[in-house]
Amino acid sequence: MNPSRKRTVRLVVALSAAVVLASALIYTSFSAASPALTPSQLLREAAPGRSYQLTGTVVPGSVHREGAVLDFSVEDRAGGGASAVALAYTGVVPDPFHEGREVIVTVAKQGGRYVGEANSLITKCPSKYKTAPPSENQNS
Amino acid sequence: MAGLGFACLVLALVVCAYGIGASLYGVRSGRVEFSESGRRSVYALAGILTVAFIVLEVAFLSNDFAFNTVADTSSRTTPAFYRAAAVWSSQEGSLLLWAWLMSLWSSLALFLTRKRMRDVAAYATAIMLGFSGFFVSLMVFYANPFATTHPVPPEGAGLDPLLRFPTMMIHPPMLYSGYTLCTIPLAFGMGALLARRVDADWIKAIRRFAFAGWLFLGMGILLGARWSYSELGWGGYWGWDAVENASLMPWLTATAFLHSLMIQEKRGMLKVWNVSLVLATGTLAIMGTFLVRSGILNSIHAFGGQTLGVPFVCLIAVLIAGSIYLVVSRREMLRSEHRLDSWLSREAIFLANNLVLVGLCFVIFWGTYFPLISEALTGQEASVGPPWFDRYTVPLALILVLLSGIGPVIAWRRATLANARRNFLVPIGCALGLLAILEIAGVTQKPLALVMFCLAAFVFGSIGQEFFRGARARRAMAGEAAPLAVLALVRRNRRRYGGYIVHLGIAVLFVGVAASSSFQHASELGLSPGQSTRVGSYEVRYVKPTATITPRYDQEHTGSTLALGAVLDVTKHGHHVTTLYPSEGFYSSDEASQGTVGSLIGGQPVSHVALDGGITRDVWAAIQPNIEAPWLERIVKTGNSTLPAEDGIVAIAYLAREYLKHPPQAQFHFEVSPLVMWIWLGGFIVLGGALIAIWPAPSVVRARVLARSRGRAVRGLARA
Amino acid sequence: MGFLVVILTLALIALVAAVVSAPIRRARGAGDSPDADAQAPTGQAPVAPSAHTRDDLEAAREAKYREIRDTELDFRTGKLSSEDYETIDADLRAEAIEILNELDELRPREP
């Protein structure tokens, strides 16, 4: 094979390898991802055992701590307390956590209840722009 | 004065527009005076934005609450130090900081290239002014830092307590310098393509700019990680948050670029690759800036609003389209001059390193933007978490460290196989030696961390061997004593040995990351005074509670009204190790519904972490005191209803006393993490090595070296 | 206060205009010919192609010298056999000579 042909072959092999690896990556990302749902969506669609990213606002008056477990309810950002999800969360609670604040927490349905995944609670900075403090995301 | 500030912005916009026109006209028509005028526009822009920035700083320092940004993010009770930093805590102020830094670095870049690459520089000027103009127009039309309200409010909202940390001062300017410095190579890269000159001269200039961006960005990222770890209450330094990733991606491509540029310099290869890397770095930097302030991704940083999203998307689209067009239309001139002489060469290792770095960048890119991608493809927004990131970045990082240990052992251009095989003995020996030690010590439960430790030993062995042999060669030639030989060696081969030191630093850093994430002991539990718990091999005992009240106008503190905390006694095997004083600060809020007393402590609480750092381990503690215990709540309610507003602090004082007398159980978060200090140490080593690599030799020495090399080159020809 | 702002703004505009237009005004003053041969009193050389090439060749020369030194260091630290070193070294020196010759064509040799 002449050198230029060899080079083309090498390029094709390298590109194919890259494509294969990228595809593997892409495929696993879809299966490893947890869908982001609002409380009303979660109540409708949650399947037991799967984890979801619940996004919404903390319902005022729903926060209650029992030892290591923090109970609170999350309602739709747009309001409407009808669809509020009550969950039990263990783990680190970020400083900005407060009633009425927007949160993201990974939950899974266990039995009839929702359980927050340990250390998955993120609270959004309450007001408009704040310069980049790195994540308050509690992940072990 | 706000008028002056806004006038500066408008003037800046005019100057940008003029400068773009003048530079382009100057370079197309060959009329030097217009290109020169274009360059001076950049200097003028820097001057104008400096004036604007000073106006805003003065407004903050003098508590001029007519300015909206001052009223929103500062207050009379915010300490002066933080008032100065609050300038960039708002969307508008941070845009001004970005534009100002951009103009400063652009001026410096143009000043340094004022005598060379005139045509490339003219195009680059237009592009840099384009970026500056973009940010200035955002301020002029969307987010004006000089907007005012009348009547003037008597007091401001105060700086968010979460940001009242010293590192807050340095992190954004450092990071923004990194981002803006990354756009300068992009400008010169596009300029070179437009002027159709991608050559040795361009390489020399662009290497400096890319290096500066790489350095500042890297330091900014490390500072952010350090801040997150030592001052935020979650005890981690990296969470694969969208904003963290956004700053890491351009850093990775910049690292790749710095390496592959050397290949282009030596072999005239990879021109397309390099130009693409430089354009990608700049584009990723802009995307990073955009991500932080658009709120399009669910991270804690829901900054800005949708208003800024659209202009940014347009800019990024233009950058990507423009880059692709330029590279494709100039591909003839970007043809490689040579091929790789041999796969066993340092060039080949650099190529592999590039692939790994770009692969890493792709993984992080995919994971970060996945919510948008999945929404576009499946209609359902989903996100991937840190475990997914770890799964792919850890193996790539391991390969990267391995390559950095192989590189030093292989010669440029074409290594001799027999020599290479022999040279690997010491590094491999080091790796295996460490493996044996760790096995004997029983540290084997985490295989990935183990591999990283051994690879780091491999790198140390490889680089140590380089220093040893280099010094030995030097002594053979110049007969110096060993330490002097090492110094002389480094001084005369700064780029190589500086680079080696950088790689040592990276290895140290990765060891720290591996150890602290794999072998960490953490626990969260509630404790009452007198109780203790075990964390790793340490006993932590809650000795007694603490309570501090800060008077309203105390400048020294960060301005919290009340701070409740604990005294923790840390012992190991019965011996006292350290005492920790974590606390939580309660700040005032302006919510009238909380009552006069309640609003004194009803604001954002901020955790003050207690950290005992050591070379082998860090002991970290955070506390969440239960301020809502019934007997404490009663004090607040009573105070609300009985005390006049200005005496509210009396109730707080009473509450503090009650807390000390009858402390409720508090929630604690403890961590014992080994080798965290190595991360910051590694960072310092990288900084040191980078400075050595970039430090120019004095010009006298350079002239001498040049003359001598010329003579030798000629003699060499005569010999052949 | 408003008056002060207006004055400052006007002063700033004047300063900027002066700085930015200086090269153009100088070029106009030095002689009305706008073609590339005009030498402005600030001593700016016109952008002649040879200037680019000279800068470029000098940078290439520096890079080539550095390569020669690097290869020697590679040899002395035991990464190359002496045969390989001699071959590569000769190649590099020949490449350096080429660059030096091209430079010589542009201008006379320095003493």
Per the DSSP assignment, residues forming a β-bridge with A87 are: A72, A114
Q: Do A92 and B386 touch (CB under 8 A)?
A: no
CB contacts, 8 Å: C78 with chain B: 419, 422-423, 469
User: Which residue has tokens 């430089």?
Assistant: B278
Contacts of B14 (CB under 8 A, 6+ apart): none
Residue B261 belongs to some domain of the structure: no
On whether the CB atoms of residues B371 and B429 are closer than 8 A, the answer is no
Domain extent at residue B439:
400-519+679-719
Asked whether residue B7 falls in the same domain as residue B108, the answer is: yes
Q: Do B7 and C70 touch (CB under 8 A)?
A: no
pLDDT band at A4 (very low <50, low <70, confident <90, very high): confident
Domain extent at residue C74:
48-111
Using DSSP, state whether B20 is helix, strand or coil: helix
Asked whether residue B651 falls in the same domain as residue B713, the answer is: no
Other C-beta atoms closer than 10 Å to the C-beta of C87 total 14
According to the model, what pLDDT value does residue C31 have? 61
Residue B317 belongs to some domain of the structure: no
CA gap B556, B549 in Å, rounded: 13
pLDDT in tens, C69-93: 889 888 988 888 888 899 999 989 9
**Strand B666-674's sheet: what is its strand order?**
B521-527, B666-674, B617-624, B610-613
Asked whether residue C13 falls in the same domain as residue C66, the answer is: no
Residue C49 forms contact with B (CB below 8 Å): no
Task: Give phi and psi for B701, each to the nearest 5.
Answer: -60, -40
Asked whether residue B494 falls in the same domain as residue B539, the answer is: no
Asked whether residue B699 falls in the same domain as residue B568, the answer is: no
According to the model, what pLDDT value does residue A130 have? 40
According to the model, what pLDDT value does residue A76 have? 82
Asked whether residue B684 falls in the same domain as residue B593, the answer is: no
According to the model, what pLDDT value does residue B37 have? 92
Residue C54 belongs to some domain of the structure: yes
Ranges in chain B, pLDDT < 50: 300-306, 555-556, 720
Asked whether residue B459 falls in the same domain as residue B506, the answer is: yes
H or E segment at B580?
strand B575-580
What are chain C's partners, defined as 3 or more CB pairs within 8 angstroms? B
Asked whether residue B500 falls in the same domain as residue B538, the answer is: no
- Nearest CA among A88, A127, A133 for reference residue B233: A133
CB contacts, 8 Å: C93 with chain B: 712-713, 716-717, 720
- Within 80-139 of A, beta carbons closer than 8 Å to B belong to 90-96, 98, 102, 104, 106, 120, 122-139
Q: Record the pTM.
A: 0.89
Asked whether residue C55 falls in the same domain as residue C22, the answer is: no
- Residues B697/B404/B348/C90 CA torsion (nearest 10 deg): 40
Contacts of C98 (CB under 8 A, 6+ apart): none
Of the partner residues B36, B469, B717, the one whose CB lies closest to the CB of residue C94: B717
Residue C9 forms contact with B (CB below 8 Å): yes
CA gap B281, B253 in Å, rounded: 6
Domain total of chain B: 3
Which sign, positive or negative, has the C-alpha torsion B455, B461, B462, B464?
positive
Of the partner residues B300, B363, B387, the one whose CB lies closest to the CB of residue A124: B300
Residue B32 belongs to some domain of the structure: yes
B25-36 burial code (b ≥16 CB/10 A, e <16): bbbeeebbbbbb
Alpha carbon distance, N-terminus to C-terminus of chain B: 74
Residue B414 forms contact with C (CB below 8 Å): yes
According to the model, what pLDDT value does residue B551 have? 65
Asked whether residue C56 falls in the same domain as residue C11, the answer is: no
A8 against A54, higher pLDDT? A54
- Nearest CA among B358, B453, B348, B449 for reference residue B403: B348
Task: Give phi and psi for A29, each to the nearest 5.
Answer: -65, -35
According to the model, what pLDDT value does residue B259 have? 94
DSSP B269: -
Please state whether at least 3 CB pairs lie below 8 Å between chains C and A.
Answer: no
Residue C39 belongs to some domain of the structure: no
Asked whether residue C100 falls in the same domain as residue C56, the answer is: yes
Task: Give phi and psi for B132, each to the nearest 5.
Answer: -60, -45
- Nearest CA among A122, A112, A9 for reference residue A55: A122
Type of residue at B20:
I
Residue C70 belongs to some domain of the structure: yes
Q: What is the DSSP string of C48-111?
A: -HHHHHHHHHHHHHHHHHHHHHHHHHHHHTTSS-HHHHHHHHHHHHHHHHHHHHHHHHHSPPP-
* pLDDT at C48 > cutoff 60: no
What Å distances lie between residue C100 and B117, C49, C62, C86, C109, CA to CA? 21, 18, 11, 21, 10
Rg, chain B, Cα only: 29
* pLDDT at A44 > cutoff 90: no
For residue C34, cis peptide bond before it (omega within 30 degrees of 0): no
Asked whether residue B427 falls in the same domain as residue B512, the answer is: yes
- Residues C82/C84/C87/C89 CA torsion (nearest 10 deg): -70
Asked whether residue B515 falls in the same domain as residue B658, the answer is: no
Asked whether residue B605 falls in the same domain as residue B659, the answer is: yes
Residue where a domain stops, chosen among B164, B183, B203: B164
Rg, chain C, Cα only: 26
Residue B250 belongs to some domain of the structure: no
pLDDT in tens, B305-322: 445 677 888 888 899 999
Residues above pLDDT 70, as percent of chain C: 75
The nearest CA of chain B is from the CA of A46 a distance in Å of 14
Domain total of chain C: 2
CA gap C88, B364 in Å, rounded: 40
Residue B144 forms contact with C (CB below 8 Å): no
DSSP B409: G
H or E segment at B606?
strand B606-608
Asked whether residue B573 falls in the same domain as residue B696, the answer is: no
Which sign, positive or negative, has the C-alpha torsion B516, B521, B525, B529?
negative
Q: How far is CA B501 from the centre of its chain?
A: 20
Interface test with B, best of A131, A138, A139 (most B CBs within 10 A): A131
According to the model, what pLDDT value does residue B512 have? 95
Residue A41 forms contact with B (CB below 8 Å): no
The superfamily in CATH containing domain A36-123 is Nucleic acid-binding proteins (2.40.50.140)
According to the model, what pLDDT value does residue B558 have? 61
pLDDT band at A138 (very low <50, low <70, confident <90, very high): very low
pLDDT band at C41 (very low <50, low <70, confident <90, very high): very low
* pLDDT at A112 > cutoff 90: no
Asked whether residue C63 falls in the same domain as residue C106, the answer is: yes
Residue C77 forms contact with B (CB below 8 Å): yes
Residue where a domain stops, chosen among B164, B184, B218: B164
Other C-beta atoms closer than 10 Å to the C-beta of C41 total 9
Please state whether at least 3 CB pairs lie below 8 Å between chains B and C.
Answer: yes
Residue C29 forms contact with B (CB below 8 Å): no
Residue B491 belongs to some domain of the structure: yes
Please state whether at least 3 CB pairs lie below 8 Å between chains B and A.
Answer: yes
CB contacts, 8 Å: B706 with chain C: 61-62, 65
